[in-house]
Structure 1
Amino acid sequence: MAGWGEFSAAFGVFFLSHSLLVRPPVKAWLVARLGPVGFTIGYSLLSLGVLAWVIMAAGRAPFVPLWNWAAWQGHVTLSAMLAVCLILGLSIGRPNPFSFGGGGYARFDPARPGIVRLTRHPMLFALALWAIGHLVPNGDLAHVILFGSFAGFALMGGALIDRRKRRVMGEGWARLDRARQAAWPVPRSLGESVVRVLLGLWLYTILLGAHPYLFGVSPLR
């Protein structure tokens, strides 16, 4: 299977895995058998594997140009990815009751919200930046569908999570959100934040070096 058929299949599997497996009855059944940690690890590995398949399938799809490439477009991607890596470094593992998992509700301090002051969903915001940053220099039909869909998925995902959280948390959601917006984006720990920024920069460097081997294109060319 190649061309548009593989691309369509990869897209279908990606969205099915991100809609079916997180539905409350299915997720509860899987967590009961795998445990919370096992489910998280398994779901993360599956998501990364399917994402890699979608990206590679887009590269193998028929090339239908929509706009021409220009040198300045690469700078857009490099700048966007630097922001993405810093956001990931500052948000992964941090308590965020507004996120899909809602982890660390008791440990979240709305007076010191960190990056959650800027957006309730930093991971989804990073995904949208990644998609838009890669959309600009990839002006063929398959990649426009790919990155445009991911950007829309990230933006709509935040709205859907907010709606679900409002229903579950009731008035507590609005109170916490008002407190978050009233605070400065102060981190819980300056030292921890410095380490996280350095980890984000390290991730950025790793991605720059690995990109030619993973996807056959150097972002520095």
Structure 2
Amino acid sequence: MDQSLAALIGANLAFVGTHFALSHPLRAPLVKAAGPTGFQALYSLVALATFAWVIVAFRAADPGGALWNGQGDAPWILASVIMLVASVLLAGSFAGNPALPAPGADDLARRGPHGVFHVTRHPMMWSFALWSAAHVLVSPTPRVIVLSLAMAALALIGSRLQDGKKAVLMGAAWQGWESRTSYAPRLGGLAKAGAVPWLAGTALWLAATWAHGWLIGLPAGVWRWIG
């Protein structure tokens, strides 16, 4: 294996592994030892340091050859649709999300599904997983696949672990929320997501795909055809 790719794998393992360790087995003892504020500072420092390592390692990694041709119109059209759905899920995930660490989470969990939660109870995490899938689809190089798999694993395994942690912390409120929502996306729920997530998500999608061409030099989304 190329050494630069091995370094990228190591960086991603460190980023994902420390995130899981600090979010679950090490969280309680570290909060007890350092206090909530100290733990949050440590968590943020580790997350930023390992993510910076991922970025540096990704840029240094040999791109390698693509495993298939992702440059035709068909892969880009499909990836653009996937990214639009991901953007709608992400935009809608901030409104009334009981998984977020905010006051009143129990009351939010007791509500019926609303907005993008008709699709999944983890819209933010699934938006990251869809982002990963879209990038592998159009850029199936070893370094992109390594990064995308790591981000998807962090999102999807992390959300599963979060279900267990929230069930302990919130008890019946979270268990009721789980029974009324789905872990896996139900795409039919997009029709019930409402106008605000769709409008905000579309605006986010247009802005992000425009910035993709400006920052990376590779047009994405509709800008690939109208830019």
Shorter-chain TM-score tier: 0.7 to 0.9
Q: Is the 8 A contact 1:121 1:158 kept in 2?
A: yes
Q: Is the 8 A contact 2:129 2:152 kept in 1?
A: yes
Runs of 4+ residues over 6 Å off in structure 1: none
> 2:75 pairs with 54, 73, 76, which one?
73
Moved more, 126-135 or 11-20: 11-20
> 1:82 pairs with 81, 84, 92, which one?
84
Give 1:6 shift: 4.8
Paired AA for residue 91 in structure 2: G
Q: Is the 8 A contact 2:88 2:198 kept in 1?
A: yes
In 1, Cα distance between equivalents of 2:168 and 2:56:
38
In 1, Cα distance between equivalents of 2:181 and 2:153:
25
Deviations 1:139-161 (A, max 9, x none): 11121121122223322222211
In 2, Cα distance between equivalents of 1:196 and 1:46:
32
> 2:30 pairs with 14, 26, 30, which one?
26
Deviations 1:161-198 (A, max 9, x none): 112222333444333333457xx979xxx9xx544432
Q: Structure 2 vs 1, CA of residues 9 and 177 (structure 1 numbering), >3 Å: closer, same or farther?
A: closer
In 1, Cα distance between equivalents of 2:198 and 2:87:
9
- Which runs of 5 or more residues in structure 1 are unaligned? none
Q: Is the 8 A contact 2:128 2:155 kept in 1?
A: yes
Two-structure CA RMSD over aligned residues (Å): 3.5
Q: Structure 2 vs 1, CA of residues 170 and 152 (structure 1 numbering), >3 Å: closer, same or farther?
A: same
Task: Name the structure 2 match of 1:14.
Answer: 15
After TM superposition, the score normalised by the length of structure 1 is: 0.73
Paired AA for residue 63 in structure 1: P
Q: Structure 2 vs 1, CA of residues 199 and 211 (structure 1 numbering), >3 Å: closer, same or farther?
A: same
After TM superposition, the score normalised by the length of structure 2 is: 0.71
Secondary structure of residue in 1 paired with 2:179 = helix
- Which runs of 5 or more residues in structure 2 are unaligned? 183-187
* Count of matched residue positions in the alignment of Structure 1 and Structure 2: 205
Counterparts of 1:66-215 in structure 2, within 5 Å, are: 66-71=67-72, 72-92=74-94, 94-97=95-98, 99=99, 101=101, 104-108=104-108, 109-180=110-181, 194-215=195-216
Give 1:91 shift: 1.2
Q: Percent identity?
A: 26
In 2, Cα distance between equivalents of 1:144 and 1:112:
34
